[in-house]
Amino acid sequence: MRNKNIKIKTKKHKIVNIVLIIVFIAFVLTSILVGYQLYIRQNISKHIKNNITIEYGQIITLDDILKENDYKDVKVKPKLKDITKVGTHKITLTIDNKKFTVNIKIKDTTPPTLEVKDLTMFIDEEIPKAEDFVVALEDLSGAKLEDVSVEKTVGEHEVYIVAKDKYGNKTKKTAKLAIKEDKEPPVFSGLSDLSVYVGNKPDLNKGVEAVDERFGNVEFTVDDSNVKYNTVGSYKIYYSASDKLGNSVTKERNITVKQKDPTYMINNFPTYSQFPNYPNGCESIALYTLLKYYKVNVTPDAIVNRLKKGDGPHWEGNVLYGGNPEIEFVGDPRAKNGYGVYQKPIIDVANYYKPGMIDYTGHSLNQVLELVKNGTPVQVWASIGMQNTKVCTSWTYKPTGKKINWICRLHSMVVVGYNSSYVYVSDPYEGQIVKYSRSQFQKMFNLFGKRAIYYKS
């Protein structure tokens, strides 16, 4: 029995030893594994910035937290994009299933961006508020303006504009406030001299304004009590205006009352259109109306056929040749590309059908109109529609080598009436009696050499 007990004890010892060995091996392996994990954790920790400080408004990224970001699986809680408020925030990083805590401090040390402007005010107005001086104010945390303090006296003042955010950051700028008195009265415009005919009264308010620098358009009064509208003479009208502060002004305006402008007109003068048969035959058609007025039996075709004609402008080699309008019609009056003719060839045709045509070239428009006043129609040269024009081409008159400078839009018509403002003509281009501005008519009449012809009565 004793030997049997010994054997049983020996077997138990062996089992215990095996268990101890297994436990030891497990302990060793666990220690190695824990040590390895600790080594890995420490190695990762070396690449993590545990405490980070960034400026408010800056975008946080993993690059701000990891010194080296070679990890494929990095989880962040909460998400970096959700960390926006000023203060200290704790985040958890999970890298290779290991968790790390990082403190992120967001601070606001950036002062507001502030741009101001100078202002001007009048002494009777309210002092501007701080925001009135501000051109631009930018701040991520919502800066507010401090109230301004200015002594309300005439002159130029420095004003300090201060913008401060809720974290104590502030920006201070200096603006100028000019305070002035309003002593300026309204200013009138449109008070040019007037002229009216006896018995007429114009609208004295038309075109007139009284404008105040501050208050804009203001009402005004008109005093024309000294004007005698039924008596020729020169008078003065008085315009008065005041602004809201009582600054007032009175201005004079000259008015002339004159006799009614008479219009002198030769009645029943014939008209005739140069179109469609004579697109460039205004000189011939104007003469035709003159001859009809004097009861001469002639046709437009007969006049055009008798008129001396020369070549239109054409190239011969490198030289542009053409006719001379002083002695012939340049081109063809019936052609759209015809040019024209001056008074002398027209006089030759006129004298064939009715002798006595006078060349009045060189005389002033006033002298021409004096003939019209006495009942004598006068054929003249100017531009179509009295449009401004100039020399537009030049060519050489081959027989003499003379240079011809051609003024475009040449036109001829018959003056049959006038007054101080207008000249009335029988116009072949329009086929009717037309009136033109007297000043513009004179300008074009002079440009074409004051060319005029008429029949001596």
CATH number at residue 76: 2.60.40
Q: Are 292 and 418 contained in the same domain?
A: yes
Are residues 310 and 280 part of one domain? yes
Nearest-angstrom CA–CA distance, 62 and 162: 37
Examine the fold and report which residue of 223, 258, 293 is the final residue of a domain before the chain moves on: 258
Q: Are residues 196 and 100 in the same domain?
A: no
Residue at 37 is within a domain: no
pLDDT digits (tens, 9 = 90+) for 174-208: 999 999 999 999 999 999 999 999 999 999 999 99
Does 226 fall in a domain? yes
State whether 103 and 124 are in the same domain: no
Query: Is residue 377 domain-resident?
Result: yes
**339 in the same domain as 318:** yes
Residue 455 pLDDT: 98
Q: Which of 258, 292, 315 is the last residue of a domain?
A: 258
pLDDT in tens, 223-268: 999 999 999 999 999 999 999 999 999 999 999 999 988 999 999 9
**Residues 284 and 165 reside in one and the same domain:** no
Q: How many CA atoms lie within 13 A of 296 on its CB side?
A: 21
Confidence (pLDDT) at 6? 59
One domain for residues 154 and 195: no
Look at the chain and report how many structural domains it folds into: 4
Q: What is the pLDDT of residues 326-362, one digit of tens each?
A: 999 999 999 999 999 999 999 999 999 999 999 999 9
Residue at 34 is within a domain:
no
Same structural domain, 300 and 235:
no
The residue from 180, 208, 223 where one domain ends is: 180
Closest CA to 233 of 259, 251, 204: 259
Q: How far apart are CA 133 and CA 156, in angstroms?
A: 15
Q: Are residues 208 and 291 in the same domain?
A: no
Q: What is the average pLDDT value for the chain, to the nearest integer?
A: 91
Do residues 425 and 307 share a domain? yes
Over residues 97-156, the pLDDT tens digits come to 888 888 989 898 899 999 999 999 898 889 999 999 999 999 887 889 999 989 989 999
Reported confidence tier of residue 74, pLDDT bands at 50, 70, 90: confident
Query: Is 3 within the bounds of a domain?
Result: no
Give the domain CATH number at 233. 2.60.40.10
Q: Which of 340, 343, 368 is nearest to 357 (CA)?
A: 343
Provide the domain limits for residue 195. 187-258
Whether residues 206 and 174 share a domain: the answer is no
Same domain, yes or no, for 248 and 393? no
Closest CA to 435 of 265, 260, 258: 265
Q: Tell me the whole-structure pTM to 2 decimals.
A: 0.51
Residue 419 binned pLDDT confidence (cut-offs 50, 70, 90): very high
Give the model's pLDDT for residue 410.
98
For the domain that residue 289 is a member of, what is the CATH number?
Answer: 3.90.70.10
- 169 phi-psi bin (left φ>0, alpha ψ -120 to 50, beta other): beta
In a domain, 38, yes or no: no
Specify the pLDDT at position 412.
98
For residue 69, being part of any structural domain is answered with yes
Residue 90 lies in a domain: yes
